[in-house]
């Protein structure tokens, strides 16, 4: 069982918006920054969002992140078939003194 | 640009040891923490270990603590993962990854991964 909880799967139609949630506790999300990672099939993960809501320069503004209390959210607007991938949230856990990932969410663009 | 290249994967028997290496280039290696993250077949990401930029701190995931050791050589720009008492459940692709700070900030770059298979 992952320390951070994500829905196993989400789906939406092309052009629509989807939200992926990530739930944790005070020792992780509640007191540390959250980052999000995208993993296309058969490839290494790559950074999508860091420090809760910042995007690396190469990431389009269709991707956005937010955090409230012990939960974080990744929003993807204007869905494209190329967005089909697994998405992971991650953060440092101060009690465990370890990095923790969510279990991952598989996005299907119908 | 940042490059991380893992090596040392392969097929090993249960109970044996193996050392993974990750050669880094394209950045000032000694300024950044380094992680190992693994992904078992059909599974999600599992964080394995982190070492601080100067090697002063090391932290491990529960499933590998006391069996795996992370280390680094800032002269060779290389991070290592010594894996002992290997089990079938250690079978995974092992990714080397850079922390965007000294060690507990966030992962910003990943290698392509090295496959370790533990099987008799």
Q: What percent of chain A has pLDDT over 90?
A: 95
Mean pLDDT computed over A73-79: 97
Whether A2 shows a pLDDT value over 90: the answer reads: no
Q: What are phi and psi of B113, to 5 degrees?
A: 100, 150
Which of A51, A96, A101 is nearest residue B45 as measured by Cβ atoms?
A: A101
Residue of A44, A49, A55, A72 best to disrupt the B interface, most CBs of B under 10 A: A44
Residues of B within 8 A of A46 (CB-CB) are 110
Residue of A99, A103, A106 best to disrupt the B interface, most CBs of B under 10 A: A99
Mean pLDDT computed over A87-91: 98
Whether A18 shows a pLDDT value over 90: the answer reads: yes
pLDDT attached to residue B61: 95
pLDDT attached to residue B102: 84
Task: Check A104 against B113: CB less than 8 A apart.
Answer: no
Within chain B, strands assigned E span 3-7, 10-12, 18-25, 34-39, 45-51, 58-60, 68-73, 78-83, 92-99, 107-110, 114-118
Instruction: Single out the residue of A102, A93, A57, A52 nearest to residue A75, CA to CA.
Output: A52
Task: Check A99 against B60: CB less than 8 A apart.
Answer: no
Whether A1 shows a pLDDT value over 90: the answer reads: no
pLDDT attached to residue B7: 96
Coil, helix or strand at residue B89:
helix
pLDDT attached to residue B103: 80
Mean pLDDT computed over A51-58: 96
Residue B64: closest C-alpha in chain A: A98
CB atoms within 10 A of CB B41: 9
Instruction: Single out the residue of B25, B18, B30, B81 nearest to residue B55, CA to CA.
Output: B30
pLDDT attached to residue B69: 98
Task: Check A98 against B106: CB less than 8 A apart.
Answer: no
pLDDT attached to residue A97: 94
Mean pLDDT computed over A41-69: 96
CA distance A21 to A10: 10
- Backbone Cα Rg of chain A: 13
CA distance B22 to B29: 11
Task: Check A86 against B44: CB less than 8 A apart.
Answer: yes
Average pLDDT over all residues of chain A: 96
Residues of chain B with confidence (pLDDT) below 50: none
Mean pLDDT computed over A44-64: 96
Mean pLDDT computed over A27-37: 97
Average pLDDT over all residues of chain B: 96
Residue that has been written with the tokens 């099987």 in this structure? B119
- What's CA A82's distance to the chain center, in Å? 16
Mean pLDDT computed over A41-50: 95
Query: In the 8-state DSSP scheme, what is residue A45?
Result: -
Q: Which residues contact B14 (CB under 8 A, 6 or more apart)?
A: B86, B87, B88, B118, B119, B120
Residues of B within 8 A of A97 (CB-CB) are 59
Task: Check B106 against A45: CB less than 8 A apart.
Answer: no
pLDDT attached to residue B52: 96
CA distance B98 to B57: 15
pLDDT tens per residue, range B50-66: 999 999 999 999 999 99
Task: Check A104 against B45: CB less than 8 A apart.
Answer: yes
Residues of A within 8 A of B104 (CB-CB) are 92, 99
Query: Cβ distance B10 to B82 under 8 Å?
Result: no
């Amino acid at each position: 069982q992952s320390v951070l909880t994500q829905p196993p799967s989400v789906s939406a139609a092309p052009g629509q918006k989807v939200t992926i949630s990530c739930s944790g506790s005070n020792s992780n999300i509640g007191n540390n920054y959250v980052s999000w990672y995208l993993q296309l099939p058969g490839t290494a993960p790559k950074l999508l969002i860091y420090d809760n809501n910042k995007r690396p320069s190469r990431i389009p503004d269709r991707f956005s992140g937010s955090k409230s209390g012990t939960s974080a959210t990744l929003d993807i607007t204007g869905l494209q078939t190329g967005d089909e991938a697994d998405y992971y949230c991650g953060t440092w856990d101060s009690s465990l003194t370890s990095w923790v990932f969510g279990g991952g969410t598989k996005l299907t663009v119908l | 640009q940042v490059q991380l290249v893992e090596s040392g994967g392969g097929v090993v028997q249960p109970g044996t040891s193996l050392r993974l290496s990750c050669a880094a280039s394209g950045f000032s290696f000694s300024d950044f923490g380094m992680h190992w993250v693994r992904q078992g077949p059909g599974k999600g990401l599992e964080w394995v270990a982190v070492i601080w930029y100067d090697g002063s701190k090391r932290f491990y995931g529960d499933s590998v603590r006391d069996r795996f050791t992370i280390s680094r050589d800032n002269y060779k720009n290389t991070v290592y993962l010594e894996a002992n008492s290997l089990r079938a459940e250690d079978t995974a692709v092992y990714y080397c990854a850079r922390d965007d700070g000294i060690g507990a900030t966030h992962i910003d770059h990943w290698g392509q991964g090295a496959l370790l298979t533990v099987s008799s």
